[in-house]
Amino acid sequence: MSTTLENIQQQISENPILIYMKGTPQLPQCGFSAQTVQALMACGERFAFVNVLDNPDIRAELPKYANWPTFPQLWLDGELVGGCDIVVEMYQNGELEKLVKETAAKANTEQSDS
């Protein structure tokens, strides 16, 4: 049986665009998760999500792993981008969409290579 930390590392490594959030993209359970997922969806790329409310072990361990205390957390290509304020600000200035599209394009290239 794998540990919570191994699960987190596997989720981050296997999903180039990943959001840890409260709730689901269709039914966010907090305002910050709702704002973040809306900004991410507006970028037009597919992404993975983990509902930390359904995964209390991940909810407890991820802040220590990421050195980021709150949710949501957006991860692109294995790197923590940040939470709601950072993601929304990046979306508003056009940075987020560029980064998300680059990450998706890179992931698609890697998939077709393997």
Residue 12 pLDDT > 60, yes or no? yes
Mean pLDDT, the chain, as a whole number? Answer: 95
Cα Rg for the chain, rounded, in angstroms?
A: 14
CATH no. for residue 81? 3.40.30.10
Under the banding of pLDDT at 50, 70 and 90, the label for residue 114 is: low
Q: What's the rounded mean pLDDT across residues 81-110? A: 96
pTM here is: 0.94
Residue 42 lies in a domain: yes
User: Sheet holding 17-21: strands in order across?
Assistant: 48-51, 17-21, 73-76, 79-82
Binding-site residue ranges for [2Fe-2S] cluster? 30
Residue 26 lies in a domain: yes
C-alpha 111/C-alpha 3 separation (Å) is: 27
Residue 98 lies in a domain: yes
Range of the domain at 100: 4-105
Residue 93 lies in a domain: yes
Binding-site residue ranges for glutathione? 22, 59, 71, 84-85
Residue 76 pLDDT > 90, yes or no? yes
Residue 58 lies in a domain: yes
CB 43 within 8 A of CB 27: no
Binding-site residue ranges? 22, 30, 59, 71, 84-85
